[in-house]
Structure 1
């Protein structure tokens, strides 16, 4: 049937005929070759409108040239497609919008006088015949004119800073273990490291920013209502002789239960509140109540200003009761010693604070809460598996141990040699089927039932920190730099990495994060920085071998810088979202570590006026100045206008002053600040603080220069550096010609 169809192609020629006449059937075309039509990637506007062929010639196509018409293209070049042109236009509009928003930020955050000056400059610039008209040009001129303005030490807008330093994700694909399993970065973390952040995946990213931005953190409930209804039923006059109202005392205890207690509980809050209501003295005592109220009045006077008047009274009453009960081995007395130590230390009474601390730790050892080598010598022998007493003892033992570890980072002094042998809070009851008795089971409480997760994670973390502390700061005259080894740092960092990966997701995710969760992240990065600080001077390029790193070979400097970058980000998040919780002790440790990192970074780079380092150093100084006051991000850059007259009424001004003196002394020594700049910061603070306890003598021995502390701890102490401030300022004035 194939013969019935017409052939479309001729039959192939036989080989013989093809060889005889190779060109017979297909004569060769000897004419000129036909030129292919030039393909244009984009037609001009006229040809597109008329829907005719456009050859894309520039500056004018052939059709427009023949018609003597103006020829315009949407594309910038012949190689650009319309889609590329659209993308370029969108990017240009985005940059223009950012520039306008930055100008708006300058107007919004600057003082009135500076804002008016910016508006005047904008008008003069836009009115000039040949002046810039594009927003980026206008912004550049405004920034240049304000470059030397002393009222604006930070030239980075808040909006731009937040966008650049708080990216949506911080994970790097070079660390595959961070993307597997229930790790801190598994929730929607797909992007690479942010630009300008070297080795951002080296340190596990414990906190990620949710889609809703930095404002997705849970606010303090105690600002609106107390966290537990039982506080309304407590008659506080039964527990103290200080004439404080029940409403104020209940609010202060509520703030403590929400801010400090979740990540470092010194007592079981459920048992404590029950005894307070019923008047029992098993898990509450007058000593514990007075110590607790002394600390809360000291810490939260910014939220409850009337509490300022009771700080000294509660501290005096607690000190009197401690002298009576310090020989009695009770859980409440051991917990009260830690609170009394924190209060006295923050008020510049280091001698009494250290004595109270040592006596409290000795009491804990006598009770077998920690510092014992076997279970036969531990508190398990007298607790006899009693549920309530075991709950209380677990909280107190691990709470004191956690406080000691955090305090050791501040003091560079080891305190508890052996960790508690008691179960971590909640573990015993979970394994024995009593989990409902561990958490807050009452429906009348607003305290989250899983708030214990933060403390359980802290207990496991502090076991790692404890080993670091005893190797670096144990009872020996050898300085930390001579004790630290790369092998030990690798071992500890491997354990830190594994701990970070094992965190439950509710502690790692950024959405609706609580204050206690953020404190864990701050503590983590401070510890990583402390671990690698001894190697920055002589072994910064040493490679750290960690099993999780398959494709990267980070050095000690890389890991340290990664934690510094994360600490910057966390500090901003904390300031923005937890302005009313800045009294946490660990928060001030984070400020100290961040300020030290900025000073050391500028010294190594040689760029003493680095704007980013300047910003974060001033952020730390402003947070110190505004201790126990409301803090607003828009005021960070204008340090002289950030101070609040309520800042130092709680008596902690002297400790703030001596801490700032130490940091300013370091900044002067490194050339980071000039003498007039340092004196301006100090005089502004003293102008307010001189009205309160100006003649009080401060006693403090904690470390301020953390890098110097690795080789010369005595010279790195706060009192040594603070006393050298005025000598350094005078020396700088004479050698550089600077005037006050």
Structure 2
């Protein structure tokens, strides 16, 4: 056979075979890999079943051909394209990463003081995971935060976008020229405020450099008082003093139900003139929501919790006191505090009952008169202080509940000028870690300014609100209210000026001003086209400054500590942002709005770790969010642990606590913009019950084949 014929028929005995097809592109490299293995494709790692059988595995995934043939389970101990040695190294590294936090925690327990070690153990026993415990130990809370990681400057980071939105960086935004903004964003353009940078250069004012919750109250009474003499719940005076300190930090400057110095002096001396077991237990019940290491502090319905036990003891003592024929000043003060507790647990209707009885007792004692019903100077001062505290708390409730006030006129006792008589109000001094400087919180100015604002809020509620009906206002009436509110704001003392505010209670005064301004401008009134433009500009002006203040509050102090007033304005800003997101189209606008929405929702979520009403409000906002925005929020809420995903997890985990709808007795008006809805349908009680019905409908629909996420009804 000639060479040409042999090339076509290489095997002359089998002339019927077809010529070989050309090899596929790239086959040469694969053939070379398999050289020396009889043409079998070389694999990086066999499945576990083939390794056990010592069979030749083709490493196909998810099941190799031999496992398919034998009907066996096909599992791989390696990742795709990973050898067994590489898998062992990876697993060793993963185990090392898991062990390292426990080793670090063990070192903390060995090296830290007894107080810090007990604090760490308490967190472990309360169920916190190792990552959470380490974060508290390193970056922490209260004094641990800065004593373990001392630094001269501290700020929190926004959860989604690190920068301030461009929409609030306006030249006329006065808060961008504030000390707190300068010390937080000193690397940003000064927007014409370089004089502040010069004033603050080299400043050692820790109030502008460190969060307020890192400071320590300096008062001998807090270290000497034996609180356990006044309660039967616990004899742990260390714990009781911490609770008392927390109340002084987070509640007293805002509500001022009693004169703090008289209360502490009598508690330390064992006198019952300005202190009583009822008042002490009421204060401790409220304070349980303010200590972040108190377990289950939001679950007020659980009998084993401290908040429940202090509340139960206070109610027992209240029943005894309320049956007496004579009224007592400390009983009135306790009623104010118990009303506050009821409000934060979404049971403000119960709180209103306490408040009504306290007002009746106050009239019996004649504490609203110019002499407060007594000739004793100390008693007159204590009574007048409580008269204003009682008046202001019912004014706050009337305005935010949308109802007429229970007390039409303020007390006749004239409030002293804090510049002339600051001692009438008292003072709280604090010291920050790594510093010997004592700072006042300017308590006299804070209380007097709040009292003046509550008086104005009481006037608004009395002039505008009618039970069960929308606000009775005209455009001219709204402008008149705005003028009176502006006059109050213009008269703020220098320590509370927009450029100087920094502490939470300072910032809240400004937050309330803009929040109230937005609320009255949203009263349903008839407007001409020109007035519509004016209304829009005023509301937009207030919204920009409200968001600026909330962001500055977060950067300096975070939203983790107890502050019920934050809930009001986080919901207000969040609701406004949801509405804007619905209409936004530009990508930059969408991202900025999502940044604000995530911040507001996270703030409500964080507040929900302190008191139950915030849990309800967070859930209302969360379930109005679009799916992609909700997923974005989850990445920031559950950054350290996986979110609940199954029906059994949702609504029962610590990250998604249950809604105790049956306990809700709340007439608080949720700040959502629904101009065509009456006040009844904006009450928290109505909205939560509607939410409960939607949740039930969602579960029923899910059982019938709906793809809705369990426990989360679509908005």
TM-score, length basis structure 2: 0.61
- Structure 2: how far apart are the matches of 1:381 and 1:701? 32
Greater shift, 527-536 or 698-707, is seen at 698-707
Q: Is the 1:391–1:425 Cα contact (8 Å) retained in structure 2? A: no
1:703 aligns to 2:669 (yes or no): yes
1:565 aligns to 2:554 (yes or no): no
Could you tell me which residue of structure 2 aligns to residue 323 of structure 1? 319
Greater shift, 678-687 or 610-619, is seen at 678-687
Q: CA deviation at 1:225?
A: 3.4
Superposed counterparts of 1:541-690, under 5 Å: 541-543=529-531, 555-579=534-558, 582-602=561-581, 610-627=590-607, 647=609, 652-653=611-612, 655-664=613-622, 667=624, 686-689=651-654
Gaps of 5+ in 1: 1-111, 113-153, 173-183, 191-199, 201-206, 371-377, 545-553, 629-646
Superposed counterparts of 1:379-528, under 5 Å: 380=371, 382-384=373-375, 386-427=376-417, 436=423, 439-440=426-427, 448=440, 450-474=442-466, 476-480=467-471, 483-511=472-500, 513-528=502-517
- Structure 1: how far apart are the matches of 2:180 and 2:295? 42
Q: Is the 2:228–2:240 Cα contact (8 Å) retained in structure 1? A: no
Q: CA deviation at 1:708?
A: 2.8
Q: Is the 1:216–1:511 Cα contact (8 Å) retained in structure 2? A: no
- Structure 1: how far apart are the matches of 2:580 and 2:429? 50
User: Over residues 376-405 of structure 1, what are the superposed CA-to-partner deviations in whole Å (9 max), with x where a residue is unaligned?
Assistant: xx2626223x33222212221222222223
TM-score, length basis structure 1: 0.59
- Structure 2: how far apart are the matches of 1:598 and 1:215? 33
Q: CA deviation at 1:440?
A: 4.4
**Correspondent of 1:353 among 348, 351, 354:** 351
Q: CA deviation at 1:265?
A: 0.9
Could you tell me which residue of structure 2 aligns to residue 714 of structure 1? 680
Q: Is the 1:440–1:447 Cα contact (8 Å) retained in structure 2? A: no
- Structure 2: how far apart are the matches of 1:673 and 1:691? 19
- Structure 2: how far apart are the matches of 1:235 and 1:507? 35
Q: CA deviation at 1:518?
A: 0.9
- Structure 1: how far apart are the matches of 2:657 and 2:329? 36
- Structure 1: how far apart are the matches of 2:547 and 2:480? 26
Q: CA deviation at 1:289?
A: 0.6
Q: Is the 1:705–1:717 Cα contact (8 Å) retained in structure 2? A: no
Q: Is the 1:675–1:739 Cα contact (8 Å) retained in structure 2? A: no
Evaluate the alpha carbon distance shift between residue 442 and residue 672 of structure 1 in structure 2; reply closer, same or farther with a 3 A threshold: closer
Give the root-mean-square deviation of aligned CA atoms. Answer: 4.5
**Correspondent of 2:224 among 228, 233, 236:** 233
Evaluate the alpha carbon distance shift between residue 453 and residue 657 of structure 1 in structure 2; reply closer, same or farther with a 3 A threshold: closer
Evaluate the alpha carbon distance shift between residue 540 and residue 612 of structure 1 in structure 2; reply closer, same or farther with a 3 A threshold: farther
Could you tell me which residue of structure 2 aligns to residue 157 of structure 1? 161
Evaluate the alpha carbon distance shift between residue 437 and residue 597 of structure 1 in structure 2; reply closer, same or farther with a 3 A threshold: closer
Greater shift, 325-334 or 582-591, is seen at 325-334
Could you tell me which residue of structure 2 aligns to residue 640 of structure 1? none
Q: CA deviation at 1:539?
A: 3.4
Evaluate the alpha carbon distance shift between residue 696 and residue 210 of structure 1 in structure 2; reply closer, same or farther with a 3 A threshold: farther
User: Over residues 507-532 of structure 1, what are the superposed CA-to-partner deviations in whole Å (9 max), with x where a residue is unaligned?
Assistant: 01444722211110111111111111
- Structure 2: how far apart are the matches of 1:709 and 1:314? 41
- Structure 2: how far apart are the matches of 1:188 and 1:272? 33
Could you tell me which residue of structure 2 aligns to residue 40 of structure 1? none
- Structure 1: how far apart are the matches of 2:707 and 2:306? 44
1:539 aligns to 2:527 (yes or no): yes
Evaluate the alpha carbon distance shift between residue 157 and residue 610 of structure 1 in structure 2; reply closer, same or farther with a 3 A threshold: closer
Evaluate the alpha carbon distance shift between residue 492 and residue 224 of structure 1 in structure 2; reply closer, same or farther with a 3 A threshold: closer
Q: CA deviation at 1:276?
A: 1.0
Structure 1 runs, 4 residues or longer, greater than 4 Å off:
166-169, 184-190, 207-216, 218-224, 303-308, 434-438, 440-447, 602-609, 671-685, 690-696, 726-734
Aligned positions, number: 509
Gaps of 5+ in 2: 1-96, 98-157, 183-190, 299-304, 432-436, 638-642, 710-715
